[in-house]
Amino acid sequence: MQIFNSLTRKKETFVPIHEGKVGIYACGPTVYDYFHIGNARPFITFDVLRRQLEREGYEVTFVQNFTDIDDKMINRANREGITVKELADRFIAEYWTDAKALGIHPATVHPRATEHIPQIIALVQRLIDNGHAYVGATGDVYYRVSAFPGYGKLSGQSVEDREMGASERLDVETDKENPADFVLWKAQKPGEPAWESPWGMGRPGWHIECSAMSMTYLGETFDIHCGGKDLLFPHHENEIAQSEGATGHPYVKYWMHNGFINVDNQKMSKSLGNFWTVRDISKEFDLEAVRMFMLSAHYRSPINFSKEQIAAANASLQRLYTARDQMRFLLDKAPERPLDEAETAFAARLKEYEQRFDAAMDDDLNTADAIGAIFELVRDANSTLNEQSSKAAVQAGLDSMKALCDVLGLVQKESDALPPEIQAMAEERAQARKNRDWKRSDELRDAIKAAGYLVEDTKEGQKVRKNL
């Protein structure tokens, strides 16, 4: 597999640190609200990365954290008159609702920052002991950026750039040695949750949380760290500085960052009124269509979200469901016999589609071309398989399609049994067509469609399925 490494700014052949095993850390949500469409992209992208690596035989340890303590969480909890933990518990549960609807597999581990305070304190102390951090006059602990010569190697931002930016924002942080230094541990303010530490009561800074949690589960050097492009600086840059400042050796081999999402060709923001949570979208669209939309573009490319794009992705998704259901329909009636010459050629072509899929995925996770290989398979199956096809040939088509769709997390829903009222209309329509009562047939088709189901007239007969 070739991966574009944000650290070296080029594609590199992926070679794991430990043969046959891969450790991945993906930055998860800050759980103070429902996650938005921009957050969904890395969750989907790196879920697919994990699935493809597992397809290729790797044992993957996938870690995705929950940031469950920060300023936004404290502010919202205070507004609602609840504890930060109560707020976190609520929105972690909401995360699972939306993540499941998006087809995202649970990580191997989902650590919470507040459950790793001892590890965070130990890491901060390590940085103080080796001169990379210091305690300010008010009890805050800061990372000494000047002590880390490699600062900026991920983002290309120099210490001087950071100093200029920080000096413009500098207000009460007068106990910093340098405006570019960033906080590792925050001294407690009135009304804030806090934990005991060698520097007094306080709580961790955001950046140190991810360093401590990732190294707890993956070791001091691990394979892949991923997240949205917006995290590249300062979050991931600071993670490198504090992790390598503590250990003295490389933190991560490969850094992967997905591109931004615009909404209707504008940057998403609450002030523009184009801010969409995944929960908002789920009220209008099946979230599998959102997954299809995300994977139809290369993960590093910027993409434009619109309702029209989701509708188009949904239409493409329905074609895949139709192909799967058609093969299942044929399978029920297919004769048991050996593959004939044409079916043997079809089985060989299935292997070619699988090879094209893997080649695309191994080219820096090119999901757009991988989806193209699935549609080639589907077109071939649609034109090759019929009511005379052997059970073995139909099963081969189904198995091949399922294997590839499973990697992308697509076509995962089962076709539900029709409700009695829909079944009754479908049977009446079939009889109307048999009687050549086209007017009644069309009326029933429209009624079935209005109820959320699609009718297809095929060579094998009428088929009715839910419009997903």
Tens of pLDDT, residue by residue over 336-382, are 999 999 999 999 999 999 999 999 999 999 999 999 999 999 999 99
Model pTM?
Answer: 0.88
* Contact (Cβ atoms closer than 8 angstroms) between residue 1 and residue 51: no
Task: Please compute the mean of the pLDDT values over residues 43-48 and round it to a whole number.
Answer: 98
**Bridge-partner residues for 226, per DSSP?**
26, 256
**pLDDT reported for residue 167:** 38
**pLDDT reported for residue 168:** 38
pLDDT per position as a tens digit, 443-460: 999 998 888 888 888 766
**pLDDT reported for residue 302:** 94
Task: Please compute the mean of the pLDDT values over residues 74-95 and round it to a whole number.
Answer: 97
* Contact (Cβ atoms closer than 8 angstroms) between residue 88 and residue 66: yes
Instruction: Quote the DSSP letter at residue 132.
Output: S
Amino acid at 93: A
Domain layout of the chain by residue ranges:
2-258, 307-408, 420-466
Task: Please compute the mean of the pLDDT values over residues 189-200 and round it to a whole number.
Answer: 96
Domain 2-258: assigned CATH number? 3.40.50.620
Q: pLDDT above 70 covers what percent of the chain?
A: 95
* Contact (Cβ atoms closer than 8 angstroms) between residue 467 and residue 453: yes
Task: Please compute the mean of the pLDDT values over residues 23-37 and round it to a whole number.
Answer: 96
Task: Please compute the mean of the pLDDT values over residues 223-250 and round it to a whole number.
Answer: 97
Per-residue DSSP letters for 418-462? PPHHHHHHHHHHHHHHHTT-HHHHHHHHHHHHHTTEEEEEETTEE
Instruction: Quote the DSSP letter at residue 219.
Output: -
Q: Is the pLDDT of residue 173 over 70?
A: no
**pLDDT reported for residue 414:** 84
Question: What is the torsional sign of CA 102, 107, 109, 112?
Answer: negative
* Residue 225 phi, psi (nearest 5): -120, 130
**pLDDT reported for residue 225:** 98
Fold of the 307-408 domain: Four Helix Bundle (Hemerythrin (Met), subunit A) (1.20.120)
Q: Is the pLDDT of residue 166 over 80?
A: no
**pLDDT reported for residue 274:** 79
Task: Please compute the mean of the pLDDT values over residues 66-76 and round it to a whole number.
Answer: 96
